Structure 1
Amino acid sequence: MRALILDTETTGLDPATGDRVLEVAAIEVINFMPTDRTFHKLIDPERDVPEEAARVHGFTREMLIGKPLFAEILPELLDFLGDDPVVAHNAPFDFGFLDHEFRRCNVPVIDRSRMVDTLALAKKRFPGLPNSLDALCRRFAIDNSMRTSHNALLDVQLLSQVYLELMGGKQPGLSLGIQGNGPMLVASAGPVGPRTPRPILPSPEELERHAAFVGRLKDSLWSNFPPAGG
C-alpha cells in the first residue's frame, strides 16, 4: 500500500488573503514504511515573507528569490503524488493552500477522498490531550531534538514515524539479517521474497502411533483419511 507523507510551509495562514506556499516536501511510504523516494522543493512565493512567518520556518524573502515558481514544480509534484493517499498533519490546512496553488495553475485539485489527516487520527486516539507533531513525537518516544524550526522535509520524516505508530506500530516486513556480530530481525518495506516450502513429514514410528490412537476412537472421522506421508 503506497501513500505520501506531505507538508507545506507558507507565508501565512490564509491563502484567501494572498498567502502562498514557499516549501513542499513529501516522502513515499509503502506498507507504512518509508522508502528512499523523496520530493522537496523551495518555491519563490512571488511576495514578501512576513517576519512572524519567517520566525516559524526560518525562510526569508531573500532566501527564496530565484527559486522556481509553484507552476514550475507542479508537474513533478503531481507525478510524485500519483493517485495515492496523501497524509498530512492538520491536512485541511495543507490541502487548502495546495488547492489555491493548483487553481492558480488551472489544474484540478487533489480529491479530498485521498486526504488522511493524522491530527484527526490522533484526536480520536488521544481525546483531550495535546496532539501537535511535537507532542506526538514525545508520546511515541520519537527523537525530534533537531526540530528547532518548522522545516517541511524534517516534518514529513517525523510524521512518517508518527503515522506508523498511529496505524498500530505495524512492522509489515521482517527478515532475518546480519548486522554487527550476529543475526537480528530487520524491517523491510515490502515482501522479503519467495520462501521455500518445508513440509513436515512424520516418521514411520509417528505414523504407527497415530494409527493406534485413531483405532481407539469410535466412529472417528480420521479413519476416513490416509495418514500424512502414507
Structure 2
Amino acid sequence: MRQIVLDTETTGLSAEGGDRIIELGCVELYARKLTGNNLHFYFNPERDSHEDALKVHGISNEFLRDKPKFAELTEDILNYLADAELIIHNAAFDIGFLNKELERVGKKPLKAYVSGVIDTLAMAKEMFPGKRNSLDSLCDRLEVDNSGRTLHGALLDAELLADVYINMTRGQEALLMDVGDAISNDAQQVMVQVDLTTFVLPVLPANAQELAAHDEVLTQLDKSSGGKTVWRQMASV
C-alpha cells in the first residue's frame, strides 16, 4: 500500500478566517518503507503570517514573497497524492486548510483524490490515554530522534511522523506476533503426551513444630469467630 505522511505550515490557525498554507511536506511510504520519493513546496500565501505563527515555524514573510502560489502547484500536488492513504497528525487541521486551498481553485475536497486518512493524534490518544500526544512527546516516548527540530517545518515534521507512525504500528504487530507465537507454542505442547501414572508423589507429613504453629493459628481463629473455625469442624468429622 502507498502511504503519504503529510504536514503543513500555515500563516495562522484559521483556514476559514483567511489563513493560508505556506509549506507542504510529504514523505512516501510503500509497504511501510521510506522510498525517498518526497514532495516539498513553499508557497506565497499572499498575506503575512501572524506573529504567533512566525514563532512556531520561523518562515519569514520576505522568504515567501517569490515562492509560487498554491494554485500554480495544485495539479502537481494532487497527482502526487492520488489514491494514497494519508497519515497526518491532527488531520482535521491540515485537511481543513488543504480543502480551503482546493476550493479556491475550483477543486473537489481532498477526500475525492485519496484513498483514506489516518489521524495519528487519534491513534496516540487511544494508545496512550491521559498522556501528552504532541509530535515531540511521541518522539520522546517512542525514541525517535527529534534533536534537529528547533522550529516546526513541514518536511521535517512529516519525516519524524513517518518514524513515529512506523514505531506505533510496529508495536501492535509485535504484540500480534507474540500472541501468534504463544498460540503456536501451546499447540505444540498439547501434542506432547505424558503418562502420569508412572509418577509416585511423596507425602511429607508436618513435623511437631509445624503442627503446633498450625494449632495456634486455629486457636486464634476460634477466638475471633466464636468457635466457628471451619478447620476445627472438619477435623471433628
TM-score by length of 1: 0.72
Instruction: Please name the residue that 1:225 is paired with.
Output: none
Matched AA of 1:146: G
**Offset, 1:135:** 0.3
Asked whether the 8 Å contact 1:8–1:23 carries over to 2, the reply is yes
| Residues 146-187 of structure 1 deviation map (CA, whole Å, 9 limit, x = unaligned) | 00000011000000000101212569xxxxxxxxxxxxxxxx
Rounded Cα–Cα distance in structure 2 between residues aligned with 1:20 and 1:60: 14
Instruction: Please name the residue that 1:18 is paired with.
Output: 18
Alignment of 1:1-230 (within 5 A): 1-111=1-111, 114-169=116-171
Q: Provide structure 2 residue ranges, at least 5 long, that are not aligned to the other structure.
A: 175-237
Rounded Cα–Cα distance in structure 2 between residues aligned with 1:128 and 1:155: 23
**Offset, 1:48:** 1.1
Greater percentage in helix: 2
Percent identity over paired residues: 46
Asked whether the 8 Å contact 1:32–1:163 carries over to 2, the reply is no
**Offset, 1:99:** 0.5
Rounded Cα–Cα distance in structure 2 between residues aligned with 1:110 and 1:64: 24
**Offset, 1:91:** 0.6
Rounded Cα–Cα distance in structure 1 between residues aligned with 2:59 and 2:36: 26
Asked whether the 8 Å contact 1:140–1:165 carries over to 2, the reply is yes
SS in 1 for 2:131: coil
SS in 1 for 2:35: strand
**Offset, 1:31:** 1.6
SS in 2 for 1:146: coil
Asked whether the 8 Å contact 1:56–1:149 carries over to 2, the reply is yes
Look at both structures and tell me which one has the larger radius of gyration over its CA atoms.
Answer: 2
**Offset, 1:23:** 0.3
Rounded Cα–Cα distance in structure 2 between residues aligned with 1:160 and 1:38: 12
**Offset, 1:78:** 0.6
Q: Provide structure 1 residue ranges, at least 5 long, that are not aligned to the other structure.
A: 172-230
* CA RMSD, Structure 1 to Structure 2 (Å): 1.4
Instruction: Provide the aligned length of Structure 1 versus Structure 2.
Output: 171
Rounded Cα–Cα distance in structure 2 between residues aligned with 1:26 and 1:71: 18
| Residues 73-119 of structure 1 deviation map (CA, whole Å, 9 limit, x = unaligned) | 11111111111111110011000000100000101111186111000
Asked whether the 8 Å contact 1:32–1:164 carries over to 2, the reply is yes
| Residues 14-46 of structure 1 deviation map (CA, whole Å, 9 limit, x = unaligned) | 111110000001011012221110100000000
Matched AA of 1:30: Y
Asked whether the 8 Å contact 1:44–1:70 carries over to 2, the reply is yes
